Amino acid sequence: MKWTQFFIPTLKEVPQGTEAISHQLLLRSGLVHMLTSGVYSYLPLGLRVLRNIEKIIRGEMNKAGAVELFLPCLQPIDLWKQTGRDQVLDDVMIKFKDGKNRPMCLGPTHEEVITDLVKNFVQSYKQLPLNLYQIQTKFRDELRPRFGIVRACEFIMKDAYSFDKDMAGLQRSYELMRKAYIQIFEELDLDVIAISADSGAMGGKLSHEFMVPASIGEDTVVMCSDCNFKGGKKESLCQGVICPECQQGTLSETVAIELGHIFQLQTKYSDAQQALFLDETGKQKPIVMGCYGIGVSRVLAAIVEIHNDEKGIIWPEKVAPFDIEILPLSGKKEEDSEIHELSENYYKELTSLGYEVLIDDRNESAGRKFNDADLIGIPLRVTIGRRNLKEGKVEIKRRRTPDGILVDKEEAISKISQILKK
């Protein structure tokens, strides 16, 4: 991809009215743009990262036996009356009437919709267990949107719903999801803490929250000064207390961002909506449900919040919008045909090897290209400039290390594939 054909509106200065690092960097690197409070556009670079995050999530969900579908966000309020959540979620629902004067809402979540769907087609224990998921936009009329896309009114969520014939089945489905979540966050390079929590408006019994410690956040977790222990803040686990794990260190509190939440709903929704099936003995029973959410767009913010330095974002390789950025440093095309040819050749070769490559082909000064490259944080940078090319060399530099290395121009490709294994 050529920079001049793409759309990367970077900002030199910190936008007014922003405090969270991720909020600033997401805006400055041209990943997102605010339309109004809590409502954001995802620009091409940001969308690429979102797609990569989704790819990791889909991979693990599919592996765990979940099946993807896509539910409507336009929903009739009547459906919500079946569970009484038209009242419970009244404050967060974005409601309006359609052209036929029917009360509607933009879905803040999808338990009612999925339960309504499943009850139409599942009548027998033979059709269970079932796990359905989607990656979809959710709408919540937040009283106070915060930290850019960390808490937004319109955001992307992966939500999965499991359907089992009994509690033992739910335990198995729940455990599969819990393990899948741990795997997902590991792949996303996020050091999450899974803690059991209240299930709040979702209902049901057991739930786990997946939190990542960060410099901003709306939750608090505790960490041990000596060992690896981390946990949720409770009456018995708070600042200054001796670590229950190693009995050596003391606990300190830190804020954290909630990235995922899984719930054992049991029969709350199937009872209310009459989602019933016949068991082996011909007895009618409510389907036992669980639900499993990950804030996909919030994950994007969390990654930026954690992986950055004073110059910009440092993408983990798996989610980076591109693998490699090529920086031809040049002026007039006639004088620097070698630089341009070499850049083009590298681009073709690396692309054919399966890498996603961005060339900064703008006619800009070296300083500006370097600074933008640091800001958008592509993992590997290849700099092709007259200075080093005179010696037959090009520079290869990882974003996360301070210094680059000089390699012979003929060896660059093999060196790169050594560093970035595909």
Partner RNA sequence: CGGGAAGUAGCGCAGUUGGCUAGCGUGCAACGUUCGGGACGUUGAGGUCGCGGGUUCAAAUCCCGCCUUCCCGACCA
Binding site for RNA (CB under 7 A): 10-20, 23, 34, 36-38, 91-92, 138, 140, 142-148, 151, 155, 157, 200-202, 209, 216, 218-219, 258, 261, 293, 295, 311, 329-332, 363-368, 370-375, 383-389, 394-395, 397, 404
Least CB distance to RNA at residue 340 (A): 13
Single-letter amino acid, residue 406: L
Q: Please tell me whether residue 416 adopts helix, strand or coil conformation.
A: helix
- Minimum CB separation of residue 180 from RNA in Å reads 18
- The packing angle between helices 337-352 and 412-419, to 10°, is 40
Provide the Cα torsion 158, 163, 164, 166; round to 10°: 100
Instruction: Quote the least distance from Cβ 146 to RNA, whole Å.
Output: 5
Max CA pair span of the chain: 84
For RNA, which is the closer residue by CB, 101 or 401?
Answer: 401
Closest to RNA by CB, 270 or 343: 343
Smallest gap from Cβ 330 to RNA, in A, equals 6
> Which neighbouring-strand residues pair with 136?
157
Distance between CA atoms of residues 138 and 132, nearest Å: 17
Q: Which is nearer to RNA, 107 or 321 (CB)?
A: 107
In the complex, least distance from residue 60 CB atom to RNA, rounded to whole angstroms: 20
- Is the Cβ–Cβ distance between 234 and 222 less than 8 Å? no
User: Which residue, 104 or 265, is less far from RNA as judged by CB?
Assistant: 265
Residue 126 CB: number of other CB atoms within 10 A?
10
Is there a contact between 376 and 49 (Cβ–Cβ < 8 Å)? no
Measured from the CB atom, the residue of 17 and 282 that comes closer to RNA is 17
Q: Which is nearer to RNA, 60 or 336 (CB)?
A: 336
Place of tokens 């520079």: 395
List residues bridging with 329 in a β-sheet: 385
Q: Rounded to an integer, what distance in angstroms lies between the CA atom of residue 329 and that of residue 313? A: 22
Minimum separation from the CB atom of position 385 to RNA (A): 2
- Give the rounded distance of the alpha carbon of 118 from its chain centre: 27
Residue 64 near residue 176 (C-beta atoms within 8 A): yes
Minimum Å distance from CB 85 to RNA? 10
DSSP bridge pairs for 158 = 135, 294
Task: Count CB atoms within 10 A of the CB of residue 14.
Answer: 14
Cβ-based burial of 259 (10 A; exposed 0-12, middle 13-18, buried ≥19): buried
Question: For RNA, which is the closer residue by CB, 181 or 277?
Answer: 181
Q: For the packed helices 44-63 and 167-187, what is the interaxial angle rounded to 10 degrees? A: 140
Q: Looking at beta carbons only, is 75 or 383 nearer to RNA?
A: 383
Taking the least distance from each CB to RNA, the nearer of 320 and 327 is 327
**Shortest distance, position 242 Cβ to RNA, whole Å:** 26
* Least Cβ distance, residue 406 to RNA (angstroms): 8
- Asked if residues 34 and 16 have their Cβ atoms less than 8 Å apart, the reply is no
